[in-house]
Chain A
């Protein structure tokens, strides 16, 4: 087998898909037949210096993927699988990996370092690999070891520190690890290779170093070494050291005070004179400080000023030196930087930082920036004019409206005129600045805008003219129109101001979308997305005829896309993008027109043709469904209600296709949402389609392939289906309910330390409750007894959730509601259950005291329902 695995690993990277698939199947078969031997073979392959580097690298990656996965559930399976592996196999693998760190092949060393860290993440918290740290430290302290081994060891230490918590080791070990890393940065002892690895390792170990950063002496030492390293003569090492400083700014903001003088000097020198990669990190340092202070200010409330972490006001203190430093960077634009979206350079980083500084200090930045704006805005050099405009645009968020509005009002005419500047960059930045102005200082809905009603016509005129400018300028003009119209959303009488301009805006945006010089399709999609906002924000009462006229125009365009000749996969992609944009517009129009009774008939009359178009769009692809078309169909189902039934025979296959799309999980998620729309539209008429839908939803839930974000919506969807078909849900109960119970148990065990997991846990709980609510209400009047056996489990779950202090408000609402549903639907059947549990009174009490009216009402209703049962 050992010989064969090399062949499989090489073949699995073949350019020939057939060879590749076959090799993957062979590997999988090997893995399934004998996992321990498979893992061991991989580590042997990785360790063997006689093997080709390609097979060694893939061996390492497969090994790593056998230990870790992104999906939490899958990851847990892999961890269990590793822990269950024979101990002698495991120790052989670990020995081989440690040995590989000394390999002469850099790729093998690097891959091995990654795998070691993954095993460490499983075993160290369990105290199952106590000798690892000792072995690694040994490699570092023995004088005669080659630099390559030390480099790989440092890399490993960094990865291990990233994976584990300092609490998994005793403090002496933590200290020894950090000492080894920091000593690796020492100029006198090591060559550049080792110092670079050490600096990167420190970066990974910063969080791990928490206790050491709390100790002033150790902190001083680490900071000194990092600052020294930031002045190394090798640019890569300087960059790595600055990356450490950026991370330290975020992680250890509260202890930075004593070092700020030094850090300002270091970063200031780097911004002014160092290589761009280093200068970018130096600017990033200040951006990170801003992030910290903005966050502190957001949490700072005047009433409870004492308890929070200290605000050191570094930006305020450095302001008078920092702002000129950043303004200088704005003059270092690159030619053509506006043509390429991937460019990130010093002037962009500087402008971004300036914007953050403005948000941090507010009004104080204005007098420091305005002289720069005024002295540069009229200069003949385009760089000066662009930098001046960029500076102005950057400080529009943060300072007060009172401070800004006179400046903006005085400058607006100038900016509008500058849309005719001779330089493309200047126009680009001017249009962007206008969009910022509209985003931040134009809110007729709340009664304030820098645009007077008299001025609006001119503003619109200039922007529409700019839609004909170069693609990058036109795209920014779209952005400006987007925010301009957004101001009129729900703006009451003010929204009428926009109505007279609407026809022109719409026709210009369509003309822009039709341009053929937009390069990639970015300008076109910007134009359509702006059109969406225009439709959304228009005053429906005044503009419904205009929107109604737009409908056939967009339908026509969508019809044309179906006719496009498809030769290459590139054509196919372009067709898909265009259809996405047009379906998006249709969705927005459908939603807008179906929102009032007066205009809804327009959609109802066109529904057949719209649906035919969507089906044609689906027909353009063989195995996937079009996400935007699906989204739009949800809106159509909502608008048409029961009438949607006639589309189901044709549409249901695409619905099923969407539900099977594991890879594009967002498509799957959207389809799940559309199932809900259809249930509400068709009610019990959805019944004939339910077997197919439920089968796929259950499969989706069971799949480890499907992205976890789709799973909560599936539970909510169970509720939608049950509510629609009532008693007919009974046949799904034996499948759906165990899934719901299983998910409830996962919720109970879920780790709550991780913020992302906490969010997910909240979503999952809410959706489980929604599923129960729908099912209980669906069975209520006909077959409530079906749910009696599940009542206790549900009640226990509600109890568990009610005791969780971190639960989200939406979870609370769903929990209280489902408790009422339980009582409402099952009535005296569950009298005993309620009698036996004490928690619900406290929980209801808590909810009844809430400030949230909706929650209070729900709790009141639930109280009534339970009261009815208990009498």
Chain B
């Protein structure tokens, strides 16, 4: 029994970093594994199991302030830490809203025309209405808005969406659809699909997902008459997976002809004379968008911060003054901002860069439908093709109520 085998010699080097590195790696791996498994522990069931929300002090009304009357795509930007599904079921109010907003794929605004628009992108006319998840499971169908609140409970023709006489429909059969609820005819228009009959389509390309939607190449999205009120066009890159949060692989574009809500209105529903933007104030007085990474728009005067008692993290409203936005090499170089005040408290995020730019362009030199069509007819695209100049056009299917 040699004592020096038992006792760490007291005065010897204490640094054994290798073991620490191993342990930290294991710790990280265990944590990652836990997160991966928890994520897999399924959106479907947790969306269903969410408790009915507290009567909402929800922004629905006040939120319109600077947004379109239709439910504009809210930016999910700098959200706090990952919340897992189970925790989400306990969330209320703004937290629930943040969480649900993160589960949806959110389009950026189209500020220039992507390459290979005709080959790689789907387009369809976006119905005006509320964006929501429709989940069918266990013989019932539930729709939930981004804020987590239940919109409707109803039986549907979706797999597992209604009680059937033979009691069939196993628990693993369920659907999650990304929809827009069109108030006027009380119809859910399916714009994307996350799970179909128990098959997860998260990691499938849009091309594959839309196959499930029974895509039809019927009419032009832009000019065609739709059974619903249109609110712009949505472009989906064929290769894009269903990815939560902002993505440049889905784009929204509008003009006066296909949307009633092109230029942002204020809370009274009127178009302000100068474009307004909402930016987030950071520690170092910087004003940024909600993009990841944030785009810098300028710095706020220390005076204003002091006078108005502003803190980092505040969302602030600005008007874009006569100086407008100036660009160098396609990058924003300077913004002439005029401080108006704090943004409505219900606002969770600052504007995204693409939204600000789209709004700016709408007021000055809008991206026109002709630009889009011109891109399709450009030589690059033509060499490939054929008489079929039309984009792959697509009309959303409808969820049939039983």
What residues of chain A lie closer than 8 Å to B37, measured between beta carbons?
719, 723, 770, 773-774, 777, 817, 821
What residues of chain B lie closer than 8 Å to A670, measured between beta carbons?
22, 25
Once the chains are docked, how many angstroms separate the CA of A676 from the CA of B16? 25
Asked if B11 and A777 sit within 8 Å, CB to CB, the answer is no
Asked if A864 and B21 sit within 8 Å, CB to CB, the answer is no
A668 to chain B, nearest CB (A): 13
Number of interface residues of A (CB under 8 A): 85
- A518 at the B interface (CB under 8 A): no
Most chain B C-beta atoms within 10 Å of own C-beta, residue among A348, A587, A638: A348
Once the chains are docked, how many angstroms separate the CA of A618 from the CA of B7? 36
Asked if A826 and B172 sit within 8 Å, CB to CB, the answer is yes
Once the chains are docked, how many angstroms separate the CA of A341 from the CA of B46? 58
Binds A, one of B96-104, B109-117, B120-128, B194-202: B194-202
Known: A584-B18, A598-B293, A868-B171. A476 touches B45 (CB 8 A): no
Contact mask for chain A residues 526-564; partner B; CB cutoff 8 A; 1 contact, 0 none? 100110110000000000000000000000000000000
Binds A, one of B28-36, B148-156, B258-266, B302-310: B28-36
- A192 at the B interface (CB under 8 A): no
Contacting A at CB under 8 A, from B186-209, are 195, 198-200, 203
Known: A529-B15, A584-B18, A781-B198. A827 touches B172 (CB 8 A): yes
Known: A348-B9, A680-B36. A631 touches B21 (CB 8 A): yes
- B182 at the A interface (CB under 8 A): no
Asked if A784 and B172 sit within 8 Å, CB to CB, the answer is yes
A829 to chain B, nearest CB (A): 7
B8 to chain A, nearest CB (A): 9
Known: A716-B33, A821-B41. A857 touches B86 (CB 8 A): yes
Asked if A584 and B21 sit within 8 Å, CB to CB, the answer is yes
B332 to chain A, nearest CB (A): 19
- A68 at the B interface (CB under 8 A): no
Q: Which of A351, A591, A784, A827 contacts B10 (CB 8 A)?
A: A351
Q: Which of B1, B15, B292 contacts A597 (CB 8 A)?
A: B292
Once the chains are docked, how many angstroms separate the CA of A597 from the CA of B293? 8
What residues of chain B lie closer than 8 Å to A429, measured between beta carbons?
11
Contact mask for chain A residues 559-599; partner B; CB cutoff 8 A; 1 contact, 0 none? 00000000000000000000010001001100100000110
- A256 at the B interface (CB under 8 A): no
Asked if B171 and A677 sit within 8 Å, CB to CB, the answer is no
What residues of chain A lie closer than 8 Å to B292, measured between beta carbons?
597
**Size category, B interface:** 35 or more
Closest to B16 in A: A529
- A36 at the B interface (CB under 8 A): no
Asked if A673 and B1 sit within 8 Å, CB to CB, the answer is no
- A828 at the B interface (CB under 8 A): yes
B148 to chain A, nearest CB (A): 16
A712 to chain B, nearest CB (A): 11
- A390 at the B interface (CB under 8 A): yes
Closest to B139 in A: A871
Known: A676-B33, A781-B195, A868-B138. A827 touches B171 (CB 8 A): yes
- A482 at the B interface (CB under 8 A): yes
Asked if A864 and B45 sit within 8 Å, CB to CB, the answer is yes
Contacting A at CB under 8 A, from B378-399, are none
Most chain A C-beta atoms within 10 Å of own C-beta, residue among B7, B14, B17: B17
Asked if B11 and A869 sit within 8 Å, CB to CB, the answer is no
Once the chains are docked, how many angstroms separate the CA of A773 from the CA of B33? 10
Known: A670-B22, A720-B33. A780 touches B42 (CB 8 A): yes
Asked if A287 and B7 sit within 8 Å, CB to CB, the answer is yes
- B224 at the A interface (CB under 8 A): no
Contacting B at CB under 8 A, from A422-460, are 429, 432, 435, 439
Known: A246-B1, A355-B10, A482-B15. A631 touches B41 (CB 8 A): no
Q: Which of A355, A597, A676 contacts B29 (CB 8 A)?
A: A676
B124 to chain A, nearest CB (A): 26
Asked if A860 and B86 sit within 8 Å, CB to CB, the answer is yes
Asked if A828 and B171 sit within 8 Å, CB to CB, the answer is yes
A286 to chain B, nearest CB (A): 11
Asked if B171 and A869 sit within 8 Å, CB to CB, the answer is yes
B265 to chain A, nearest CB (A): 34
A214 to chain B, nearest CB (A): 24
Contact mask for chain B residues 292-323; partner A; CB cutoff 8 A; 1 contact, 0 none? 11000000000000000000000000000000
Once the chains are docked, how many angstroms separate the CA of A483 from the CA of B1? 32
Once the chains are docked, how many angstroms separate the CA of A429 from the CA of B89? 57
B316 to chain A, nearest CB (A): 22
Asked if B293 and A394 sit within 8 Å, CB to CB, the answer is no
Q: Which of A349, A591, A817, A868 contacts B45 (CB 8 A)?
A: A868
Known: A781-B198, A827-B172. A723 touches B14 (CB 8 A): no
Q: Which of A584, A673, A680 contacts B17 (CB 8 A)?
A: A584
Known: A476-B13, A628-B18, A631-B22. A243 touches B1 (CB 8 A): yes
- A824 at the B interface (CB under 8 A): yes
Contacting B at CB under 8 A, from A702-724, are 716, 719-720, 723
Once the chains are docked, how many angstroms separate the CA of A364 from the CA of B4? 27
- B52 at the A interface (CB under 8 A): no
- B239 at the A interface (CB under 8 A): no
Closest to B84 in A: A857
A267 to chain B, nearest CB (A): 14
Closest to A829 in B: B170
- B184 at the A interface (CB under 8 A): no
What residues of chain B lie closer than 8 Å to A869, measured between beta carbons?
171
Asked if A344 and B86 sit within 8 Å, CB to CB, the answer is no
A779 to chain B, nearest CB (A): 10
Extra A-B contacts (4), CB below 8 Å, given A532-B21, A598-B293, A774-B37: A483-B14, A631-B21, A781-B200, A828-B171
* A→B interface (CB under 8 Å): 203, 243, 246-247, 280-281, 284, 287, 341, 344, 348-349, 351-352, 355, 390, 393-394, 429, 432, 435, 439, 475-476, 478-479, 482-483, 522, 526, 529-530, 532-533, 580, 584, 587-588, 591, 597-598, 628, 631, 634-635, 638, 666, 670, 673, 676-677, 680, 683-684, 716, 719-720, 723, 770, 773-774, 777-778, 780-782, 784, 817, 820-821, 824-829, 857-858, 860-861, 864-865, 868-869, 871
* B→A interface (CB under 8 Å): 1-4, 7, 9-18, 21-22, 24-26, 28-29, 32-33, 36-37, 40-42, 45-46, 48-49, 85-87, 89, 138, 170-172, 195, 198-200, 203, 292-293
Q: List 18 A-B contacts (CB under 8 A).
A: A284-B3, A344-B3, A475-B13, A478-B15, A482-B14, A530-B15, A584-B18, A631-B25, A638-B32, A670-B22, A683-B203, A716-B33, A723-B40, A781-B199, A825-B172, A861-B46, A861-B85, A871-B138
Q: Which 8 A-B pairs have the closest CB atoms?
A: A827-B171, A529-B17, A777-B40, A344-B4, A781-B200, A352-B10, A861-B86, A827-B172
